[in-house]
Structure 1
């Protein structure tokens, strides 16, 4: 089935009226506007709630401390240390933002969100204590005791998690039966549907096709769970289709080949605040990937490509890498020694495994890792399977907890690696991938890293299909290269390590 034939339709339909003229059923229009209003005010409402919560918890703890420890009531205004409160509030809000706490689409009921919130809170606590008692308190006698500061940093994340979980449950309750309308029934539509089902998105799906021969068939032939394909006439850009409220329209077909009359109605609906996305924009915004099938040699020149405009961040990132590597050697020294001894005592051969990898701008270097497989295993299959018998007795554990990657701190220190970036692949595999996957070389536009966007979002690759899927995430990182994304990756990496999600 060729996606480019999806749009073969008569283009003789007359054009009439303004692009701003669109009709909507009255009930559907009210529902649509209510939902749009909720989505617009959602992040600001949560931000306001968090500000009130932080201030309230801080003031309450100050009053309790004064009453029970000092035996006096110091009053509301006297209990507020604005410097300390701001020093607590800003990092706390930034931490919640980085894990998607203000994003309407984030499922805050999921254990991963709760875990990342707790991990981010620990990081925020370290930053806040360091900043308050080394900068804010310099030359000033602060009246906010450490017990109050620490209590605020403990109580706020707990309350934040609880009310966000409740909000997500409420959100899921009111969104039951809502739908996503996929325009098109070709390869892109199938890919989009599979991705959304994999993420267990609770929405129903309406699929509409321009091709009459596809109408009445399943989107995925032979799959009884996939939706039936509807005629394109059902897409009237009102708020509902066949009684289902449509939250999102996704154009999963060639936009340039859509008939002009349909395009006019689509643009009109867009101006009337209906949520309409192209296939590419939906994947990037909602699923946070960059599909390589949509790339061309002009890709680095597109709007939103930050790498070639971020020279200053490159320099700052290198300084942070050096500092983090030095600190990492100090903090991880017990784990380095323990892991080295475990590797030596459980299997014959060297403790450190060296392999030639491809780095920045396709320059090769030797990567260092604790050996997790028997000597000579590199001569076997190129991919590692879940129950691979080549693992040493301790190998599977250190691979899953990422302890095997601790020696790579040396690679970071000398500049071969960054802490964060696409995975550095074996040179032999890179040659194979570049022949098989067009534009695979774009991932080498940034320095590879110990951890990265693909590593924290996708399990260990064991096939060409997995490699292509991880490339989607790597290219997303290359295009949106930034401090905010790097910090989010750090939080997610700690989650992966603590709960053994890596492989």
Structure 2
């Protein structure tokens, strides 16, 4: 079985023209210096704790995929991270391979979601391989959801408040994911950008703990997108 599909590695290079649109890395955000130092350590520890689950789930999917989800095990996509730099995210594939990317404000192509993929998405298990990105310090456990670079480029031109989120590492889960779920359309995306900005300004351990708890409830009850 193919583990990952062919991927153009050139897409993972920093995107010229986006870096100057991002807030400077030293921009003031919520939380003390100690908070952010501890957060960095917790990110690594949390990602390491998730890796055995990723390995075990990946092994199970290698067996189940040929029947319920034919195709590669992983899906990789180039997304925009902190400072406007692009990086490659890893997810367990949940959709049948398609010929092209959807538009920035288009709904999910639900007809391409496989039976097994639907279960993975509802429980949020497809996102677990992003623990690799956390270990590589491209993502955090909690933060704004990283968007495909082509979508992010359009969001930057049409949603002024979207720019603020680039001051912070994107996250596997976050306040906007909990409140809004999957964004469809300009208004939903603008609402998520505003919530991302709220999180950046309010960041603290208490809020992070609440987001983790809500994420676990979403996974347990299968309310994911």
TM-score clears 0.5: yes
2:195 aligned residue (473, 486, 489): 473
- 1:430 match: secondary structure: helix
Higher relative contact order, structure no. (Cα contacts within 8 Å, ≥ 6 residues apart): 2
1:348 aligned residue (70, 90, 99): 70
1:406 aligned residue (97, 116, 128): 128
Contact 2:79 2:88 in 1 (8 A): yes
Q: Following the alignment from structure 1 to structure 2, what is the Cα–Cα distance between the partners of residues 311 and 377?
A: 45
Q: Could you list the per-position Cα deviations for residues 146-191 of structure 1 after superposition, in whole angstroms to 9, with x for gaps in the alignment?
A: xxxxxxxxxxxxxxxxxxxxxxxxxxxxxxxxxxxxxxxxxxxxxx
- 1:497 match: secondary structure: helix
Q: Following the alignment from structure 2 to structure 1, what is the Cα–Cα distance between the partners of residues 112 and 164?
A: 32
Q: How does 1:240-255 map to 2 (within 5 A)?
A: none
Aligned to 1:318: 40
1:381–1:339 CA distance, 2 compared to 1 (3 A):
farther
Q: How does 1:163-312 map to 2 (within 5 A)?
A: 306-307=29-30, 310-312=32-34
Structure 1 position 461, deviation (Å): 1.0
Q: Following the alignment from structure 2 to structure 1, what is the Cα–Cα distance between the partners of residues 110 and 103?
A: 10
Q: Could you list the per-position Cα deviations for residues 256-281 of structure 1 after superposition, in whole angstroms to 9, with x for gaps in the alignment?
A: xxxxxxxxxxxxxxxxxxxxxxxxxx
Where structure 2 has 5 or more consecutive residues not aligned to the other structure, the ranges are: 1-22
Q: Following the alignment from structure 1 to structure 2, what is the Cα–Cα distance between the partners of residues 347 and 377?
A: 17
Contact 1:306 1:482 in 2 (8 A): no
Number of equivalences:
200
Aligned to 2:184: 462
Q: Following the alignment from structure 1 to structure 2, what is the Cα–Cα distance between the partners of residues 416 and 314?
A: 15
Structure 1 position 493, deviation (Å): 0.4
Contact 2:61 2:73 in 1 (8 A): no
Contact 1:424 1:448 in 2 (8 A): yes
Q: Following the alignment from structure 1 to structure 2, what is the Cα–Cα distance between the partners of residues 490 and 389?
A: 30
- Normalised by the length of structure 2, the TM-score is 0.81
Aligned to 2:138: 416
1:340–1:466 CA distance, 2 compared to 1 (3 A):
farther
Aligned to 2:207: 485
Q: Following the alignment from structure 1 to structure 2, what is the Cα–Cα distance between the partners of residues 343 and 465?
A: 36
Q: Following the alignment from structure 1 to structure 2, what is the Cα–Cα distance between the partners of residues 344 and 483?
A: 42
Aligned to 1:327: 49
Q: Following the alignment from structure 1 to structure 2, what is the Cα–Cα distance between the partners of residues 435 and 381?
A: 15
Contact 2:90 2:129 in 1 (8 A): yes
Q: Following the alignment from structure 2 to structure 1, what is the Cα–Cα distance between the partners of residues 39 and 99?
A: 35
Q: Following the alignment from structure 1 to structure 2, what is the Cα–Cα distance between the partners of residues 384 and 342?
A: 27
- Which has more radius of gyration? 1
- 2:160 match: secondary structure: coil
Q: Could you list the per-position Cα deviations for residues 187-233 of structure 1 after superposition, in whole angstroms to 9, with x for gaps in the alignment?
A: xxxxxxxxxxxxxxxxxxxxxxxxxxxxxxxxxxxxxxxxxxxxxxx
Q: Following the alignment from structure 2 to structure 1, what is the Cα–Cα distance between the partners of residues 142 and 133?
A: 12
1:496 partnered with 2:218:
yes
1:409–1:344 CA distance, 2 compared to 1 (3 A):
farther
Aligned to 2:16: none
Q: Could you list the per-position Cα deviations for residues 81-131 of structure 1 after superposition, in whole angstroms to 9, with x for gaps in the alignment?
A: xxxxxxxxxxxxxxxxxxxxxxxxxxxxxxxxxxxxxxxxxxxxxxxxxxx
Q: Following the alignment from structure 1 to structure 2, what is the Cα–Cα distance between the partners of residues 381 and 349?
A: 23
Q: Following the alignment from structure 2 to structure 1, what is the Cα–Cα distance between the partners of residues 222 and 189?
A: 21
1:344–1:443 CA distance, 2 compared to 1 (3 A):
farther
Q: Following the alignment from structure 2 to structure 1, what is the Cα–Cα distance between the partners of residues 138 and 53?
A: 21
1:433 partnered with 2:155:
yes
Structure 1 position 470, deviation (Å): 1.1
Structure 1 position 332, deviation (Å): 4.7
- 1:394 match: secondary structure: helix
- Normalised by the length of structure 1, the TM-score is 0.38
Aligned to 1:360: 82
